[in-house]
Structure 1
């Protein structure tokens, strides 16, 4: 006789034919196994144990993925007769490879590709932890997936809120891509909003900048200091100042020298009029052997050396803040421009931001800015009553 496996769920019953057969006299209906100590009996019982374990594995997987379960659906899952569809890992890899192709021809940033790779690795770790699977169908990605992912990243992975949001934002883009490819009927992540905590961004005061600029340093540290101060007065990131050439300097609408280039990160245009100090720095390296050989404007070290030297410079100048190219960008946005009444729209354009929201994270409204703005208002109001004007707070 042929051995069948019977599956009962919610009073519904289905049967699965196995490839096993046995003489009826060698089968125990009560124990549901072959009897006797023969090789055939042992092999049949071993195969039946595997079948039971396999069905149970599929059942547990369906529960973990919060999928509807019926006897028929469980049968289809076990037999592998579900409609073929795209998987989550397939979507992650496909999106990564497509993006990589654009990086290779210079249309996308390599750092963004690294973020996508890290995101993919975190998603793989998450589904193994939460769902006990190495992959899952895209149809099994529900709305709850993202909230569970956020919880995992901030508790098990111990990431900060903003780091978790960065990876979730990337994941949302991948899922939207899958929807656009018609791999999914709807976007289960659409309702999840990435909410970032405003970062406490450090910046240098004008007094600290000038202390750096006028400090007597060794040639090795002087070069790094000059690049850093240049960034403070232009807002350029490390990768963008690294790639500056003479071709980026053009006559501006005001007749002065401007630097115009596309940001490496976003490909948006940065247009920055050069102030006296950055012009002075550029002039200092016109005949520099390294710059002439490399065809660059400034002698920019590797990022690792650059940050190490900045730490050394900060100690020499008794500056307690952690000096990086990022702090230079924040200094440009706040100390150099915003505190000197440059409109935030102009600051945004010079920083190469796509929207004002990004600039607002960089440009911190300081007490000095608030005080000076209110002082202007006070003086305007005082002019109506004939009172003497007050003086603005100077940069410190």
Structure 2
């Protein structure tokens, strides 16, 4: 059941300043309960209209007073709506304290994001990957840039997040950062995860992503023809780093291993099987499925080429 709610502004008589001005007060009435607080400003009695609860006239001073009154009224109404959403009921005391910030800890998006990233970094090497941690840090950086560019602020309270914020962030990524659809989709998944943390522990009573729709585009990655593979293999360069990258790419072609799997490949994964051939016995990093790959002549020659450059038991030094 919705509360009866009223906001009234008045000047406090009997508390005149030395110059005759009176303190401006705000009175909140919720279901008959009354609380008031000071608006932290003084008003000349001659300008105050008791009936309308506003300053009269079109002077600069009267306009400034009314602007402050309107600003307080809007903020009080916003706090009222937040309390109704989060708690389901409002009292005059709760509303006053919420407006004044008494007993309310302002949780902000970037603060939560940074805290998450610090905790995530501690798990890297155990059950988390450094690449994923770097992605969280990247999205956190983009949110910080977005807030400064679009909202001209350093951070934003969690309770101010809404669908407009989400759509504005997507627009920023597409226009200012020139991100394509799949990159935007990936960034939004990360942000949605951070928002879910706030929702699950009660710091955010609503879902700002409600109504937001975004999906990845299907990408045709294509493939290399036999002629193109030969062109890569025959590419000559005096740059040793470029030659290494070419050889590792060719190794991936002939083994079907991804970059991460080649990087993790150790001498323990190279085994001579019952048929007398050298095989790679490993588990894929992404899927954790076992792979058994017979080494053909070309990948074996690449392994032999870099055997004397190993820093440890890893087959290749990966740049």
Residue 171 of structure 1, CA deviation: 0.4
Residue 95 of structure 1, CA deviation: 1.6
Partner-residue secondary structure (3-state), 1:260:
strand
Residues in 2 aligned to 1:92 and 1:239: alpha-carbon distance in whole angstroms: 27
Single out whichever of 83-92 and 164-173 deviates more from structure 2: 83-92
The reply on whether 1:122 has 2:116 as its aligned counterpart is: no
Partner-residue secondary structure (3-state), 1:30:
helix
User: Contact 2:112–2:194 at 8 Å: present in 1 too?
Assistant: yes
User: Contact 1:5–1:15 at 8 Å: present in 2 too?
Assistant: no
Name 2:247's counterpart in structure 1. 226
User: Contact 1:250–1:258 at 8 Å: present in 2 too?
Assistant: yes
Equivalent residue for 1:178, pick from 161, 176, 198: 198
Name 2:24's counterpart in structure 1. 5
Pair 139,299 (structure 1): closer, same or farther in 2 beyond 3 Å: closer
Name 1:56's counterpart in structure 2. 71
- Equivalent positions of 1:195-210 (< 5 A) are 195-210=215-230
Equivalent residue for 1:278, pick from 299, 304, 307: 299
Name 2:55's counterpart in structure 1. none
The reply on whether 1:29 has 2:45 as its aligned counterpart is: yes
Equivalent residue for 1:134, pick from 154, 171, 178: 154
Pair 195,20 (structure 1): closer, same or farther in 2 beyond 3 Å: closer
Aligned residues: 273
The reply on whether 1:258 has 2:280 as its aligned counterpart is: yes
Pair 81,247 (structure 1): closer, same or farther in 2 beyond 3 Å: same
User: Contact 2:27–2:37 at 8 Å: present in 1 too?
Assistant: no
Pair 161,18 (structure 1): closer, same or farther in 2 beyond 3 Å: closer
Q: Which has the higher contact order (CA 8 A, sep 6+)?
A: 1
1:7-35 residue CA offsets vs partner (Å, 9 max, x unmatched): 599xxx985336789xxxxx831246xxx
Residues in 2 aligned to 1:224 and 1:153: alpha-carbon distance in whole angstroms: 31
Residues in 2 aligned to 1:267 and 1:84: alpha-carbon distance in whole angstroms: 42
- Equivalent positions of 1:1-396 (< 5 A) are 1-2=14-15, 3-7=22-26, 16-17=37-38, 28-31=44-47, 56=71, 59=74, 76=97, 78-81=99-102, 83-84=104-105, 86-103=107-124, 105-189=125-209, 192-214=212-234, 220=240, 222-250=243-271, 257-263=279-285, 266=286, 268-269=288-289, 271-276=291-296, 277-286=298-307, 288=308, 290-291=309-310, 293-300=311-318, 302=319
CA RMSD between the two structures:
4.5
Bigger share in strand:
2
Residues in 2 aligned to 1:246 and 1:148: alpha-carbon distance in whole angstroms: 50
Partner-residue secondary structure (3-state), 2:156:
coil
Residues in 2 aligned to 1:15 and 1:150: alpha-carbon distance in whole angstroms: 41
Name 2:19's counterpart in structure 1. none
User: Contact 1:6–1:16 at 8 Å: present in 2 too?
Assistant: yes
Residues in 1 aligned to 2:207 and 2:182: alpha-carbon distance in whole angstroms: 23
User: Contact 1:213–1:229 at 8 Å: present in 2 too?
Assistant: yes
Bigger share in helix:
1
- Structure 1 unmatched runs, 5+: 22-26, 33-48, 303-396
Pair 239,118 (structure 1): closer, same or farther in 2 beyond 3 Å: same
TM-score normalised by the chain length of structure 1: 0.54
Residues in 2 aligned to 1:283 and 1:187: alpha-carbon distance in whole angstroms: 56
Residue 85 of structure 1, CA deviation: 5.5
Residue 67 of structure 1, CA deviation: 6.3
1:154-208 residue CA offsets vs partner (Å, 9 max, x unmatched): 2344322222111111101111222333333454326544411233535421222
Residue 107 of structure 1, CA deviation: 2.7
